[in-house]
């Protein structure tokens, strides 16, 4: 049985991993919240690895405040790059396979074709840049790693777009939602299933992978489906990105091609609306 440790165990994806591990009856897994195992503290990390001697290390810990990162460059870089370097070194020392979660924000998002893993990464925000730097330090320290880039993550846990839309939709008569940013929502429960299937099958096809749900949508259309499924009566007004000013620039088109994940990780990927329906029924 593989011993698994999860950093960022109390965040959205960490909570989804807890749920899926329970469903799959995976018991040799430890969820480590930030206060117990901060990835910026090498001494604590060393103690954790020495205690558990893990087969797998799943890193869900990250600085994810996209707009705030524009002002907090140093702390974003510390968490998203230096923390990842700390884990990578220990994974090498303990012969542990690292499974690291990254983002579609590593791309500029200026094209109109689904992005493959070998496409040029050219982030347009501090968040995207520091996540890319985190990806780049991993191979410098260890060969046994999986990097999973994901997008538009939501679930019944923590704060996310689905829960925010439902809250605002019930409180307001009208919502303005961006229609000209195109991507794919990802149900974090599905991503958790993909991560744990890597550990269960002991897959050795190391490298970078794209994982989101299947299909394509805009934030506007995503919101419309949320309200439809949630039976929330609210007027949704489509707006352009230019009308909705944020500190950080977002990719305009970040649809990812999942062919590599489907063939080399042997996972089936659900259509985004089907997964959303599942999440909404749980909410």
Domains in the chain and their CATH numbers? 4-160+185-214+255-270 (3.40.50.720)
215-270: per-residue pLDDT in tens?
999 999 999 999 999 999 999 999 999 999 999 999 999 999 999 999 999 999 99
> Distance between CA 128 and CA 134 in Å, rounded?
10
* pLDDT of amino acid 116: 98
Catalytic residue among 127, 209, 211, 220: 127
155 pLDDT more than 70: yes
What share of the chain in percent tops pLDDT 70?
Answer: 100
Which 3 state secondary structure label does DSSP give 177? strand
* Helix residue ranges per DSSP H, 122-218: 126-141, 161-171, 188-201
Catalytic residue list contains 63: no
SS (H, E, C) 225-255: HHHHHHCCCCEEEEECHHHCCCCCCCCCECC
Residue 280 pLDDT more than 70? yes
Residue 2's pLDDT is 83
Q: Which of 121, 39, 134 is nearest to 81 (CA)?
A: 134
C-beta of residue 282 within 8 angstroms of C-beta of residue 226: no
When pLDDT is averaged across residues 15-23 and rounded to a whole number, the result is: 98
The whole-chain average pLDDT of the chain stands at 97
> Quick one: average pLDDT of 117-134?
98
Q: Indicate the burial class of 174 (C-beta count within 10 angstroms; 0-12, 13-18, 19 or more).
A: exposed
pLDDT in the model for residue 1: 66
Residue 73's pLDDT band (boundaries 50, 70, 90)? very high
């Amino acid at each position: 049985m593989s011993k698994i440790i999860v950093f960022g165990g109390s965040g959205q994806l960490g909570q989804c991993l807890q749920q899926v591990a329970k469903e799959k009856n995976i018991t040799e897994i430890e969820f480590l919240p930030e206060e117990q195992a901060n990835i910026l503290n090498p001494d604590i990390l060393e103690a954790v690895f020495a205690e558990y001697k893990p087969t797998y290390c799943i890193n869900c810990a990250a600085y994810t405040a996209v707009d705030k990162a524009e002002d907090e460059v140093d702390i974003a870089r510390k968490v998203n790059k230096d923390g990842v370097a700390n884990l990578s070194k220990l994974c090498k020392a303990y012969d542990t396979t690292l499974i690291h979660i990254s983002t579609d924000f590593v791309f500029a998002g200026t094209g109109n074709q689904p992005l493959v893993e070998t496409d040029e990464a050219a982030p347009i925000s501090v968040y995207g840049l520091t996540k890319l730097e985190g990806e780049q330090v991993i191979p410098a320290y260890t060969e046994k790693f999986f990097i999973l880039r994901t997008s538009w993550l939501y679930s019944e846990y923590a704060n996310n777009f689905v829960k925010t839309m439902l809250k605002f939709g019930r409180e307001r008569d009208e919502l303005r939602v961006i229609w000209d940013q195109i991507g794919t929502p990802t149900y974090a429960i599905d991503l958790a299933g993909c991560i744990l299937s890597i550990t269960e099958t002991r897959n050795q096809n190391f490298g970078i992978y794209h994982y989101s749900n299947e299909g394509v949508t805009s934030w506007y259309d995503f919101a419309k489906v949320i309200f439809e499924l949630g039976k929330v009566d609210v007027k949704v007004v489509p707006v352009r990105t230019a009308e909705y000013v944020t500190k950080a620039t977002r990719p305009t088109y970040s649809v990812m091609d999942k062919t590599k994940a489907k063939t080399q990780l042997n996972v089936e990927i659900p259509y985004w609306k089907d997964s959303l329906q599942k999440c909404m029924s749980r909410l």
